[in-house]
Chains A and B, each alone.
Chain A
Amino acid sequence: MADKRTTEAEIVAELKDGMTVGFGGWGARRKPMSVIRAILRSPVKDLTVVSWGGPDVGLLCAAGKVKKLVYAFVSLDTIPLEPHFRLARQSGKVEAMELDEGMFYWGLYAAGLRLPFMPNRAGIGSDVMRVNPGLKTVRSPYEDGEELVAVPALNLDLAVVHMNRADERGNGQFLGPDPYFDELFLMAAKRRFMTCERIVRTEDFAREGSFHTLKINRMLVDGVVEAPNGAHFTSCVPDYPRDEVFLARYAASAANPQAWQEFRQDFLDGDEAEYQRRVAAR
């Protein structure tokens, strides 16, 4: 039996400049933040980031790691607009592929199914088509003849998701209300990683939640990292809610370059253990 346990550092060691990476979760919910923090400490750059955007996107933008963003929205949920993302876009330094949410979903799914595109009505006639001149339409070959968006596959070099529980073989369990689209990110990627709050024995999954919560199967996962509080400061219910106080402090760090430097020094410059110590010591 394969033991797929690994570390954030080993995941980041697989990243090369210019790669396309996807992160699971949704907005400021169940994001693989310990891996984001490890990327911030690494020299990697020019990433294309594919995400239901939250502070993962904002942090990577603030640290200058992003060449291009693929998103339908970027939001901190309780703070609707993500300030670091806004700064990056408004500086003109980050390329953007803005998509309708349904297109984003269909693009990941197409990649996972090894299809070149998926047809969709969403996006047709909107400025999503104007600002992404690479997007094409396709006409129904049947008698209706409808013109639809041919949503291109969003193929990923590497994807990371964060789960509540996992076993060392790569099965993953979500215990919150929503699985989001995490398995689609894993399906769409060449290299697939899962962080989790706690690694448990396979036989203990049933004690944690019903079989319906076993959303990620091990065929989708190359490596597993135990990362307690690893989604901080995003929510990872029922293990912990979003840290609203920290979220506000993070958002305030976009006020000016000095505020960002201070936030970075206060929390991000050390390793993950140091980050968790400083968060706990507040």
Chain B
Amino acid sequence: MSTARRADYCVIACAEIYRGDGEILANPTVGTIPYIGARLARATFEPDLTMTDGEAMLVANNQPVGVNGNPALVEGWMPFRLTFDVVWAGRRHVVMGASQIGRDGDTNISSIGPYEKPSAQLLGPRGAPGNTVNHQTSYWVPNHSRRVFVEKVDFISGLGPSRAARLGGKAAAYNDIRFVISDLCVMDFKGEGSCARLVSIHPGVEVDEIRAKTGFALENGLTAVATRDPSPAEIRLIDQLDPNGLRYREVSV
């Protein structure tokens, strides 16, 4: 039994998504825990990942979150316009947020309700339509709830695997929805009919809680494994990457 808390398991899950990715742009666009997870992956099993500082610099060293640590070791320049070269060439694994995630892996960050007069206008589709027909995409949901996990999304910003498969061709070939990491569990879309299934459950979470907070039927509830424990070395690295424990503000259990 480890002393790791829920947020630490989320960090591990957010690191594991990059396993095997090699020399690509690991690009967590939201959240503290995905930020730490990407750097943990680079510090351990995926040393060739590239990452930005959230703006225009590619930074080679794993800087801690929320403190003035070691200065950025800038290894390259990647202004927003050049990001599209990377996206369209398929050399990126993005982690996005999602206001809604459907059972089929379609996602929404644009708006809730009718497009002409939304009940809630959100960000707009951002790069989600392009990301999901070009490269690896994962999602981070710090607050697993029925509001987020819905049968069908109101606006399809990001394409799930079935929708992309129906398009055929390169859009189908390049659509690569990897994982949804929430504060409760990890899912993918490799269930029956390319629908959501449980991959792993964070220790301390009951499958009934996940079902109660998910607005669609989830496959694999009985066979999903536990999200793996962080090793003692990983715990030390996580503490170095987040010395003030900001991850526990994002997931406080």
* A positions within 8 Å CB-CB of B: 26, 53, 71-75, 80-81, 85-86, 89-92, 96, 98-103, 105, 120-128, 130-131, 144-147, 177-181
Minimum distance in angstroms from A175 CB to a CB of chain B: 13
Minimum distance in angstroms from B9 CB to a CB of chain A: 26
Assess whether B130 is interfacial by the CB under 8 Å rule: yes
Q: Is there an interface contact between A89 and B127, defined as CB atoms closer than 8 Å?
A: no
Q: Is there an interface contact between A92 and B122, defined as CB atoms closer than 8 Å?
A: no
Docked pose: A131 CA to B126 CA in angstroms: 15
Q: Is there an interface contact between B170 and A90, defined as CB atoms closer than 8 Å?
A: no
Contact of B127 among A72, A92, A131, A179 (CB under 8 A): A72
Q: Is there an interface contact between B80 and A181, defined as CB atoms closer than 8 Å?
A: yes
Q: Is there an interface contact between B56 and A73, defined as CB atoms closer than 8 Å?
A: no
Q: Chain B: which residue is nearest A147 at the CB level? A: B169
With an 8 Å Cβ cutoff, the count of chain B residues facing the other chain is 43
Docked pose: A120 CA to B87 CA in angstroms: 12
Docked pose: A177 CA to B171 CA in angstroms: 32
Assess whether B45 is interfacial by the CB under 8 Å rule: no
Minimum distance in angstroms from B125 CB to a CB of chain A: 6
**Interface pairs (19), CB distance under 8 Å:** A53-B124, A72-B126, A72-B127, A80-B123, A81-B121, A89-B111, A90-B118, A90-B121, A92-B116, A100-B125, A101-B126, A125-B129, A125-B167, A126-B129, A126-B159, A128-B129, A178-B79, A180-B79, A180-B80
Contact of B164 among A105, A125, A180 (CB under 8 A): A125
- Known pairs A121-B170, A122-B134; A178 contacts B125 (CB<8 A): no
Interface 1/0 per residue, B99-132 and A, CB below 8 Å: 0000000000011000111111111111111101
* B positions within 8 Å CB-CB of A: 55-57, 79-81, 84, 87-88, 110-111, 115-130, 132-134, 155-159, 163-164, 166-167, 169-171, 174
A-B interface pairs (CB < 8 A), number: 131
Docked pose: A86 CA to B123 CA in angstroms: 9
Q: Is there an interface contact between A177 and B159, defined as CB atoms closer than 8 Å?
A: no
Q: Is there an interface contact between A81 and B123, defined as CB atoms closer than 8 Å?
A: yes
Q: Is there an interface contact between B79 and A99, defined as CB atoms closer than 8 Å?
A: no
Minimum distance in angstroms from A91 CB to a CB of chain B: 7
Docked pose: A177 CA to B74 CA in angstroms: 12
Q: Is there an interface contact between B127 and A98, defined as CB atoms closer than 8 Å?
A: no
Q: Is there an interface contact between A177 and B167, defined as CB atoms closer than 8 Å?
A: no
Docked pose: A150 CA to B57 CA in angstroms: 31
Contacts of B170 in A (CB 8 A): 121, 144, 146
Q: Is there an interface contact between A102 and B124, defined as CB atoms closer than 8 Å?
A: no
- Interface centre among B111, B121, B129, B166, by most chain A C-beta atoms within 10 angstroms, is B129
Contacts of A145 in B (CB 8 A): 169
Contacts of B123 in A (CB 8 A): 73-75, 80-81
For the complex of A and B, 9 pairs with smallest distance between CB atoms:
A122-B130, A92-B117, A126-B129, A89-B121, A177-B56, A73-B124, A100-B129, A127-B156, A178-B56
Q: Is there an interface contact between A123 and B129, defined as CB atoms closer than 8 Å?
A: yes
Q: Is there an interface contact between A127 and B110, defined as CB atoms closer than 8 Å?
A: yes
- Known pairs A90-B121, A92-B117, A177-B55; A121 contacts B127 (CB<8 A): no
Docked pose: A26 CA to B79 CA in angstroms: 11
Q: Is there an interface contact between B81 and A180, defined as CB atoms closer than 8 Å?
A: yes
Docked pose: A145 CA to B127 CA in angstroms: 24
Q: Chain A: which residue is nearest B130 at the CB level? A: A122
- Known pairs A89-B111, A125-B164, A178-B79; A72 contacts B122 (CB<8 A): no
- Known pairs A100-B129, A123-B129, A126-B125; A105 contacts B115 (CB<8 A): no
Q: Is there an interface contact between A179 and B81, defined as CB atoms closer than 8 Å?
A: yes
Q: Is there an interface contact between A73 and B79, defined as CB atoms closer than 8 Å?
A: no
Docked pose: A91 CA to B116 CA in angstroms: 9
